[in-house]
């Protein structure tokens, strides 16, 4: 990576860390979930960056891919365990990071375990390290605390314009002998639960990604498709953003247009993911650059 790009990536990582700190300062019982999401997203854009993806605010047994819709009236409660997952983007350079906020005060073991697992995993990252070793480290922390890692979620490689590229970094020893490479950008992402250690797709979907061109018949679908191409290209977006920018269309026509594009096979949906046993879920995440004898944390 060229030095100027590396500098921009680090700046985006710093903005991500600041956005997570901002999220922690505003997420309180009684706070509107919709307002929190939009405030966090505006914080990132105010720093001069775009969003790697819509901010995820996944609560309690929700593990990932939950972001509020435009008509969401719900508020955070004093029983909530909130995963805040976000990233700042400079052109095609992406970051990804997450924290867990425990408004109940009753889930400190989960939060601490996810943070400890992240720290321990980062401590062994270096060129030549096998992916299974990282998973083993995370799994060991979970076992020590009497918890389970979520087996079908994990970290990932990050390349230009692709947030989930190249490799899957497991949260358990899955036997993958693939080795990390010097200069590789990765996200380490432990998920801890007191449930079954597996997530299923829910019926809720608010995040999409356009994956190809498509032929659609209706005017609303053509309008929505053209707007996505111009403003989001192949990066993830949420229907909420369309509702904000295409106010004259109205939510019904926007959703009908999205449905037509989806049926044409040009959209990838990201359903909300829920812990199979409805256990509580905590998450922690950093973006790193793999080095010969260690790594550099970008999102701090």
**What amino acid positions are annotated as catalytic residues?**
85, 96, 156, 164, 189, 285
d(CA 51, CA 232): 10
Per-residue b or e along 72-102, where b marks 16 or more CB atoms closer than 10 Å to that residue's CB: beeebeeebbbbbbbbbbbeebbbbbbbbbb
Quickly list DSSP for 147-210: -EE-TT--EEEEETTEEEEEEEE-SS-----PBP-TT-EEEE--EEESS-S-EEEEEEEEEEEE
Distance of CA 207 to the CA centre of its chain: 11
Beta-ladder partners of 291: 294
Q: Which residue has the tokens 């076992």?
A: 143
d(CA 245, CA 252): 14
């Amino acid at each position: 990576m060229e030095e100027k790009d590396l500098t921009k990536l680090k700046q985006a990582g710093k903005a991500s860390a600041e956005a997570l700190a901002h999220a922690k300062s505003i997420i309180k019982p009684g706070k509107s979930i919709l307002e929190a999401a939009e405030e966090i997203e505006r914080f990132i854009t105010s720093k001069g960056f775009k969003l790697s993806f819509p901010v995820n605010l996944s609560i309690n047994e929700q593990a990932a891919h939950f972001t509020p819709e435009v008509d969401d009236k719900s508020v955070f409660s004093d029983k909530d365990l909130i995963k805040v997952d976000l990233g700042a983007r400079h052109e095609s350079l992406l970051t990804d990071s997450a924290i867990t906020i425990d408004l109940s005060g009753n889930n400190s073991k989960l939060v601490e375990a996810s943070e400890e697992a992240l720290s321990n995993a980062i401590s062994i990252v270096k060129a030549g390290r096998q992916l299974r070793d990282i998973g083993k480290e995370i799994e060991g922390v979970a076992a020590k605390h009497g918890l389970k890692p979520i087996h079908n979620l994990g970290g990932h490689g990050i390349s230009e314009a692709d947030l989930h590229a190249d490799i899957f970094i497991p949260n358990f020893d899955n036997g993958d002998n693939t080795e990390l490479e010097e200069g590789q950008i990765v996200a380490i992402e432990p998920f801890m639960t007191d449930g079954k250690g597996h997530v299923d797709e829910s019926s809720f979907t608010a995040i999409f990604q356009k994956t190809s061109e498509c032929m659609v018949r209706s005017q609303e679908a053509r309008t929505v498709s053209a707007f996505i191409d111009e403003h989001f290209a192949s990066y993830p977006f949420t229907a909420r953003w369309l509702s904000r920018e295409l106010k004259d269309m109205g939510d019904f026509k926007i959703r009908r247009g999205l449905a037509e594009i989806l049926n044409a096979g040009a959209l990838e949906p990201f359903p909300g993911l829920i812990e199979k046993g409805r256990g509580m879920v905590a998450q922690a995440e950093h973006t790193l650059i793999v080095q010969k004898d260690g790594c550099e944390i970008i999102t701090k």
